[in-house]
Amino acid sequence: MPPAGDPARRGPALRLYLAASRVIPLVAPAVLRRRLARGKEDPQRWQEKLGRPTMPRPDGPLVWLHAVGLGEVLALRGLIAAVARQRDGLSFLITSTARSSAGVVAANLPPRTSHQFLPLDAPRYLAPFLDHWRPDLAIWSEQDLWPGAVAAAQARGIPLAYVNVRITAESARRRAFAAAVYRDTLSCFALIAAQEEGTAARLRSLGAGEVRVTGSLKSAAPPLAADPDSLDRLRALLAGRRPWVAASTHPGDEEAAIAAAVALRDDPADLLILVPRDPGRADAIAARLGKAGLQSARRSAGEVPASDTRVWLADTYGELGLWYRLADRALIGGGFDAIGGHNPWEAACLDTAILHGPDVANFAADYAALHAAGAAREVRSDGLATALEAEDLPALAARARALVEGARGALDPLAVDLLALMDPPG
């Protein structure tokens, strides 16, 4: 049998994909430059996607972790902490593909951790990336899986793991058209860990062998960062107010939040901090607030709440760590718009009580765990104001925080098994 990492282990579908990927450099630079002109690439770092690193490799063993975007990258921080607890002297490299991940990731990087953009999936770009970083272990996460990068790492004898995997039934159906490539790619991994049993079954149907179920990494992630000086200044500014957050909102979430703010506006302490998922929608949201008769201030304009301000429109990016520290209650967005919900654990680990709308399909297992522990509450759009005044919200927040602490401890066995992949047999 060929040794691990030998290209002879690759199935015919993966070999065909790798051959086809060699044409990517014919069009990639022009495509990236057009994206750069439209503001979709980082002007300082876009060439990282062409395999040109922008920082030096640290000395010693290096663990490379990849996730597609901001939420997925932030979820890796708990795993990094668990791995670092098990072995001293490790450095970590996180790669991602979405431009939006870079700025927030930079403010939330764990110790001894760097961030780069993943090169495009072609040998011409992957080879210099791997030559430079020389990872001792590669960990892929969630749904972002690039066959060329996986195969290139395997060919160099770099052990591979695929963790925190979540694949919906619809995602599995989309992958079925390239099932052979997916099967060959999954065969490169020495360890595969899914968030829940449904994903594990779908991975097996796509060709994975042994799949373990370890839960979501998001529940074990450390708190989002916040600038201490800004936090102290805003706590002083808001003394006597009782802020609550509507986080990562879409139009339906905003409709519910605005209705609640209208219902509570006779209370001079009440202040809604409204954090849209897309800050580019801020003008439309501000107009909606004006029509509702709510006095508002805009974070992007440097405005701060006055005594008569009822809504602070936080139309900036990457400050949820600040808002969750200022508030004791949060409506987690995505629950009223057929979005599938957003991450509740960022609020949970900062002692903020979790309220949400009915649609949490993308975080079904997470919310099931929270509800089983009495640590979150589903609300109707017309019941949000009443829910925000419930006396047991501190108890909900405390139970959610306990789940976070338990999840962090539960990562240690996975960290041990990941590190074992780096150690030669015998």
pLDDT at residue 417, rounded to an integer: 97
Question: Of 41, 72, 254, 319, which is the active-site residue?
Answer: 72
> 167 and 301 share a domain?
no
> 248 and 286 share a domain?
yes
What are 245-270's pLDDT values in tens digits? 999 999 999 999 999 999 999 999 99
SS3 annotation, the chain: CCCCCCHHHCCHHHHHHHHHHHHHHHCHHHHHHHHHHCCCCCCCCHHHHHCCCCCCCCCCCEEEEECCCHHHHHHHHHHHHHHHHHCCCCEEEEEECCCCHHHHHHHCCCCCEEEEECCCCCHHHHHHHHHHHCCCEEEEECCCCCHHHHHHHHHCCCCEEEEEECCCHHHHHHHHHHHHHHHHHHCCCCEEEECCHHHHHHHHHCCCCCCEECCCHHHHCCCCCCCHHHHHHHHHHCCCCEEEEEEEECHHHHHHHHHHHHHCCCCCCEEEEEEECCHHHHHHHHHHHHHCCCCEEEHHHCCCCCCCCCEEECCCCCCHHHHHHHCCEEEECCCCCCCCCCCCHHHHCCCCEEEECCCCHHHHHHHHHHHHCCCCEECCHHHHHHHHCCCCHHHHHHHHHHHHHHHHHHCHHHHHHHHHHHCCCC
> 127 and 65 share a domain?
yes
pTM value is: 0.89
> 109 and 184 share a domain?
yes
324 neighbors 330 (Cβ within 8 angstroms): yes
> 138 and 176 share a domain?
yes
Classify residue 112: in a domain, yes or no: yes
Calpha distance 223→218 (Å, rounded) = 11
355 neighbors 371 (Cβ within 8 angstroms): no
> 52 and 145 share a domain?
yes
pLDDT reading at 7 higher than 60: no
Classify residue 297: in a domain, yes or no: yes
Domain that holds residue 122: 7-222
Domain boundary among 222, 237, 268: 222
> 285 and 370 share a domain?
yes
pLDDT at residue 5, rounded to an integer: 44
What percentage of residues in the chain have a pLDDT greater than 90?
A: 85
pLDDT reading at 41 higher than 60: yes
Classify residue 156: in a domain, yes or no: yes
> 253 and 235 share a domain?
yes
> 288 and 362 share a domain?
yes
72 a catalytic residue: yes
pLDDT band at 1, cuts 50/70/90? very low
188 neighbors 160 (Cβ within 8 angstroms): yes
Classify residue 109: in a domain, yes or no: yes
pLDDT at residue 426, rounded to an integer: 60
What are 324-342's pLDDT values in tens digits? 999 999 999 999 999 999 9
Classify residue 34: in a domain, yes or no: yes
Classify residue 421: in a domain, yes or no: no
> 176 and 239 share a domain?
no
Classify residue 414: in a domain, yes or no: no
pLDDT reading at 103 higher than 90: no
The pLDDT of 23-43, averaged and rounded, is 94
What are 367-402's pLDDT values in tens digits? 999 999 999 999 999 999 999 999 999 999 999 999
Phi and psi angles of residue 207, each rounded to the nearest 5 degrees, phi first: 115, 0
pLDDT reading at 9 higher than 80: no
pLDDT reading at 310 higher than 90: yes
> 99 and 218 share a domain?
yes
List Cβ<8 Å contacts ≥24 apart for 334-339.
334/248, 334/250, 334/253, 334/277, 334/359, 334/360, 334/362, 335/252, 335/253, 335/359, 335/360, 335/378, 336/250, 336/252, 336/253, 336/255, 336/256, 336/381, 337/250, 337/251, 337/252, 337/253, 339/250
> 216 and 235 share a domain?
no
pLDDT at residue 3, rounded to an integer: 39
Classify residue 348: in a domain, yes or no: yes
Question: Which CATH number is 240's domain given?
Answer: 3.40.50.2000
pLDDT band at 424, cuts 50/70/90? confident
Question: Which CATH number is 127's domain given?
Answer: 3.40.50.11720
What domain count does the chain have?
2
Domain boundary among 195, 222, 249: 222
